Amino acid sequence: MSFSVGSKFFVGINQGWFEDKYGYDLGRSEFSDVPLWTYPPTAPITMNLGVPNIPQDKPYLSQHPEAIENYFSKVNGVNIVRLWLFEQLEGLVFTKDGNNNLSGVDPEFINNLLAVLDSANNHNIKIYFTFFNSWDTNSSQPSGIDPSRIPKYQELFSARKQIILKIMQDPGDFCNNVLVPLANAIKDKPALFAIDIMNEPEGITEANMIPLQQLKIFVEKVAQTISPYGIKVSLGCLRKNISMSFSSFVDFSDFHVYNSPAVPNSTPTSSIQVNLDPYNLSDFSGKPCILGECGYHPSTTPYDSSQETVVLQNLLQSSNSLGYAGALAWRYQDYKNPDAVLQTVLAFASTGPTILANQGTTNTTNTGNTNPTTKKGCFIATAALDSEIHPHVQFLREYRDKILLKSSHKKQFENILDSYYRYSPPVAEAMNRDKNLKRVIKYMIVYPIVLSLKILVKLLGNDLK
């Protein structure tokens, strides 16, 4: 994937989980809540829900593989789909010695994951996997459960929570027994976009379950485990400032932007605005940034269904014009007008937006009317050197602006550069897919050109113009 200025702006949507099968769509869950809903609802539950119990039934997608193709056919046209993996510990296998240690991955989970990637690839869609959902540690008591079963629910919830926290405190078993086999299974799938290590980690850190520094250690360890497989990682944060604080540990940043889910009754919903700061390279350690979730929050009170597409359209347009690298709408299935929400995403994706270099310096109200000045980037050099702020890339940019475009042959150079801007983004994307091609271009083209130009500048100076 390429995040270079001028390459594809990623327009996506969150799937989260298939149908309403949160926690058992892709794989079995050894900490399933199914026993809580068995009939009759007042019958005693004798099994211990605080230890792993192997479910008898196969996961949803193993029983309904057609649901995979049905989904991707419906969202055909988006660039990215974000899919959650280990919600409620789904797909994870644990030791049965009473310690609840991670020992592996459910084979059904891997099989369904590969089927998802293959189907997505057939529709030219990339998959952005999210490992954990922090809100699984803050789950409220489900409605409708018989009061006699509440202690069993608490037993189950406590076990899930402690396992997630233990993984974050000591990720060794997770990295060795889960990440390594998972990475080996999916690393060569062309539909793989990246890994989001945790959805909104603030749900854990702001509840003081794990210190922020421990979370950083966990993220760094997971990123180091995945990196040798050529898989990019990110962290889908709830807040921009937290995303910024993790930017040095990930390959690209990700934070979520909605309208406020609680709108005062005195505020007309027709005037809802969303503030989105312009993307600034220095805010994110020189890394690109996407909006991993955005739109009208489904929990908005009072709810105004007419705002669902308005807020989403403004966020898609503004995230692009303000210099971000992509934006993913929240699940269309969770809205009053799901088809209208999906069509809003598909319509924006069909315009083929590209990543823009934002020049703004102040906060901008998200009205969808922002149109900052853009400047073309050095796509091939950026791809070769993996950074827009590498000294060689900065040199090439300055050479273009201060010498080529100020010379007496400015018009001819502009024509050449226009052709470069047209054809170089696909080359940069190919380089990001093929490490050998990247290496060849880096050492046989980029380095020699930079060295030659620096010698010319040293020898001729202003006479170059």
What integer pLDDT is reported at residue 464 of this predicted model?
63
Average pLDDT, the chain: 88
Whole-model pTM: value is 0.76
Of the candidates 259, 265, 316, the one whose C-alpha atom is nearest the C-alpha of residue 291 is 316
Q: Is the peptide bond before 40 cis (omega within 30 degrees of 0)?
A: yes
> What is the C-alpha to C-alpha distance for residues 420 and 441, in angstroms, rounded to an integer?
15
- Is residue 414 very low, low, confident or very high in pLDDT (cuts 50, 70, 90)? confident
> What is the C-alpha to C-alpha distance for residues 27 and 57, in angstroms, rounded to an integer?
10
Structural contact between residues 55 and 29, judged by C-beta atoms closer than 8 angstroms: yes
Of the candidates 165, 145, 249, the one whose C-alpha atom is nearest the C-alpha of residue 207 is 165
What integer pLDDT is reported at residue 260 of this predicted model?
66
Domain ranges of the chain: 10-366, 379-464
Checking if the pLDDT of 39 tops 80, the result is yes
461 or 208, which is more confident?
Answer: 208
> What is the C-alpha to C-alpha distance for residues 397 and 378, in angstroms, rounded to an integer?
7
> What is the C-alpha to C-alpha distance for residues 117 and 189, in angstroms, rounded to an integer?
7
Distances (CA, A) of 447 to 28, 392, 454: 51, 8, 11
254 or 271, which is more confident?
Answer: 254
Checking if the pLDDT of 226 tops 80, the result is yes
CATH of domain 10-366: 3.20.20.80
Share of the chain above pLDDT 70, in %: 91
Structural contact between residues 25 and 19, judged by C-beta atoms closer than 8 angstroms: yes
What is the rounded average pLDDT of the residues 38-56? 90
- Is residue 264 very low, low, confident or very high in pLDDT (cuts 50, 70, 90)? very low
> What is the C-alpha to C-alpha distance for residues 52 and 105, in angstroms, rounded to an integer?
13
Lowest mean pLDDT among 163-172, 249-258, 310-319, 405-414: 405-414
What is the rounded average pLDDT of the residues 256-274? 59
> What is the C-alpha to C-alpha distance for residues 91 and 131, in angstroms, rounded to an integer?
11
> 3-class DSSP state for residue 126?
strand
Four-point Cα dihedral 183, 185, 188, 192, nearest 10: -70
What integer pLDDT is reported at residue 406 of this predicted model?
82
408 or 121, which is more confident?
Answer: 121
What integer pLDDT is reported at residue 213 of this predicted model?
92
Pairing of strands 10-16, 326-329: parallel
Checking if the pLDDT of 345 tops 90, the result is yes
Checking if the pLDDT of 315 tops 50, the result is yes
Q: Read off the pLDDT of residues 367-409 as tens digits, 9 standing for 90 and up.
A: 333 333 334 567 788 888 876 667 888 888 888 888 888 887 8
Lowest mean pLDDT among 48-52, 155-159, 370-374, 433-437: 370-374
Of the candidates 155, 127, 180, 138, the one whose C-alpha atom is nearest the C-alpha of residue 328 is 127
Q: Read off the pLDDT of residues 131-140 as tens digits, 9 standing for 90 and up.
A: 999 999 987 7
What is the rounded average pLDDT of the residues 156-163? 95
- Is residue 82 very low, low, confident or very high in pLDDT (cuts 50, 70, 90)? very high
Lowest mean pLDDT among 260-264, 265-269, 315-319, 350-354: 265-269
Amino acid of residue 446: V
What integer pLDDT is reported at residue 261 of this predicted model?
63
